[in-house]
A and B are shown apart, each in its own frame.
Chain A
Amino acid sequence: MKTPSETSGDPHPPGADLLPAAFRRWFAEKGWQPRAHQLSLLEKARDGKSVLLIAPTGAGKTLAGFMPSLTELAERGRKKPGTAFQGVHTLYISPLKALAVDIERNLMKPVGEMGLPVTIETRTGDTPQGKRQRQKLSPPDILLTTPEQLALLIANTEAERFFADLRYVVFDELHSLVTSKRGHLLALGLARLRRLAPNMQAIGLSATVADPLDLRKWLVSQAEGEAAADVVVAPGGARPLITILQSEDRIPWSGHVARYAIPAVYEEIRTHKTTLIFVNTRSQAELVFQELWTVNDDSLPIALHHGSLDAGQRRKVEAAMAENKLRAVVATSTLDLGIDWGDVDLVIHVGAPKGASRLAQRIGRANHRMDEPSRAILVPANRFEVLECQAALDANYINAQDTPPSGDGALDVLAQHVLGMACAEPFSGDALFDEVRSALPYADLPRETFDRVLDFAATGGYALRSYDRYAKIRQRPDGLWRVANPQTAQQYRLNIGTIVEMPMLNVRMVRKNKLGSLGRGGPVLGKIEEYFLEGLTQGDTFLFGGKVLRFEGIRENEALASQAFSMDPKIPAYAGGKFPLSTYLAEGVRGLLADSSEWHRLPDQVRDWLEIQHEVSVLPRRDQMLIETFPRGSRFFMVAYPFEGRLAHQTLGMLLTRRLDRMGARPLGFVATDYSLGVWGLDDMGEMIAARKLDLQALFDEDMLGDDLEAWLDESFMLKRTFRNCAVIAGLIERRHPGQEKTGRQVTVSADLIYDVLRSHEPDHILLQATRQEAAAGLLDIQRLGAMLRRIRGHILHRPLDRVSPLAVPILLEIGKEPVAGNASESLLAEAAEDLIRDAMQA
Chain B
Amino acid sequence: MARLALAGMETEEIGASVTTVAGVDFVCDPMGALYCEADGLLVVSDLHLEKGAAFARRGQLLPPYDTHATLKILARVMDRYRPKLVVSLGDNFHDRVGSALMPADCRALIGDMARGRDWIWITGNHDPDGVIGLPGTVAESLAFAGLTFRHEPVKGAEKGEIAGHLHPAATLRRREKSVRRPCFATDGDRLIMPSFGVTTGGLDLAHVAFRGLFDRTRLIAHMIGKERVYPVSYEGLKG
Contact = CB atoms under 8 A, between A and B. Distances in A.
A819 B59 CA distance: 39
A537 B174 contact: no
Contacts of A464: 64-65
Interface stretch (B116-124, B145-153, B225-233): B225-233
Nearest to B225: A829
Nearest to A460: B61
A765 B73 CA distance: 22
Interface stretch (A127-135, A209-217, A729-737, A805-813): A729-737
B239 to A, nearest CB: 8
A237 to B, nearest CB: 49
Interface in B177-234: 177-181, 198-202, 208, 220, 223, 225-226, 228, 230-233
A757 interface: yes
A839 B232 CA distance: 11
A467 B220 contact: no
A611 to B, nearest CB: 38
* Chain A CB within 10 Å, residue with most, of B56, B66, B68, B208: B56
Contacts of A819: 177
Nearest to B227: A826
Interface string A740-762: 00000010011001101110111
A753 B1 contact: yes
Interface residues of A, number: 45
A200 to B, nearest CB: 33
Given A472-B59, A831-B174, A836 B232 contact: yes
Contacts of B239: 832
Nearest to B7: A760
Given A750-B199, A754-B199, A756-B1, A826 B59 contact: no
B73 to A, nearest CB: 11
B172 A491 contact: no
A737 B61 CA distance: 13
Contact of A824 (B177, B181, B201): B177
A299 B44 CA distance: 63
Contacts of B87: none
A467 B56 contact: yes
Contacts of B226: 826
Contacts of A9: none
A830 interface: yes
A487 B58 CA distance: 9
A470 interface: yes
Contacts of B200: 753
A749 B60 contact: no
Interface string A452-467: 0000000110101011
B71 interface: no
Contacts of B66: 757
B74 interface: no
A836 B220 contact: yes
Contacts of A825: 177, 179
A460 B223 contact: no
A835 interface: yes
Contact of B63 (A488, A762, A828): A762
B62 A732 contact: yes
A472 B61 contact: yes
B173 A488 contact: no
Contact of A828 (B65, B69, B172, B238): B172
A17 interface: no
Nearest to A555: B208
A466 B53 contact: yes
B141 interface: no
A488 B57 CA distance: 12
B236 interface: yes
Given A737-B58, A833-B231, A746 B68 contact: no
A470 B59 contact: yes
A516 interface: no
Nearest to A531: B178
A743 to B, nearest CB: 12
B56 A470 contact: yes
Given A756-B198, A757-B63, A832 B230 contact: yes
Contact of B68 (A732, A750, A761, A829): A761
Given A758-B65, A828-B172, A828-B177, A746 B201 contact: yes
B238 to A, nearest CB: 6
A760 B172 contact: no
Interface in A480-535: 487-488, 491, 534-535
Report which residue of A491, A756, A825, A833 has the largest number of chain B beta carbons within 10 angstroms of its beta carbon: A833
Given A467-B56, A833-B232, A836-B236, A732 B61 contact: yes
B231 A836 contact: yes
B23 interface: no
B111 interface: no
Contacts of A829: 172, 179, 181, 223, 225, 230, 232
Contacts of B174: 828, 831-832
B40 interface: no
A194 to B, nearest CB: 30
B4 interface: yes
Contacts of B59: 470, 472, 487-488, 491
B181 to A, nearest CB: 7
A51 to B, nearest CB: 42
B125 interface: no
A836 B218 CA distance: 12
Given A746-B201, A835-B236, A754 B61 contact: no
A757 B236 contact: no
B171 interface: yes
B230 A749 contact: no
A336 B41 CA distance: 63
A331 to B, nearest CB: 29
A749 B233 CA distance: 25
A462 B64 contact: yes
Contacts of B65: 462, 464, 757-758, 760-762
Nearest to A825: B179
A642 to B, nearest CB: 29
Contacts of B237: 832
Interface in B155-183: 171-174, 176-181
Contact of B233 (A756, A824, A839): A839
A831 B172 CA distance: 11
A832 B236 contact: yes
B199 A757 contact: yes
Contacts of A487: 59
Contacts of B198: 753, 756-757
Interface in A541-597: 555
A669 to B, nearest CB: 15
A826 B6 CA distance: 15
Nearest to A727: B62
Given A464-B65, A761-B69, A826-B225, A750 B103 contact: no
A126 B27 CA distance: 56
B177 to A, nearest CB: 6
B24 to A, nearest CB: 20
Contacts of A537: 173, 238
A757 B200 CA distance: 11
A488 to B, nearest CB: 6
B60 A734 contact: yes
A488 B61 CA distance: 12
9 contacts: A467-B61, A472-B59, A535-B173, A756-B1, A756-B4, A819-B177, A829-B225, A830-B230, A831-B174
Given A749-B202, A758-B65, 12 more contacts: A460-B64, A466-B103, A470-B53, A472-B59, A488-B59, A757-B69, A762-B65, A765-B63, A820-B177, A826-B225, A829-B232, A836-B232
Interface of A: 459-460, 462, 464, 466-467, 470, 472, 487-488, 491, 534-535, 537, 555, 732-734, 737, 746, 749-750, 753-754, 756-758, 760-762, 765, 819-820, 824-826, 828-833, 835-836, 839
7 closest Cβ pairs, A-B complex:
A460-B61, A749-B201, A756-B1, A761-B65, A833-B230, A470-B56, A825-B179
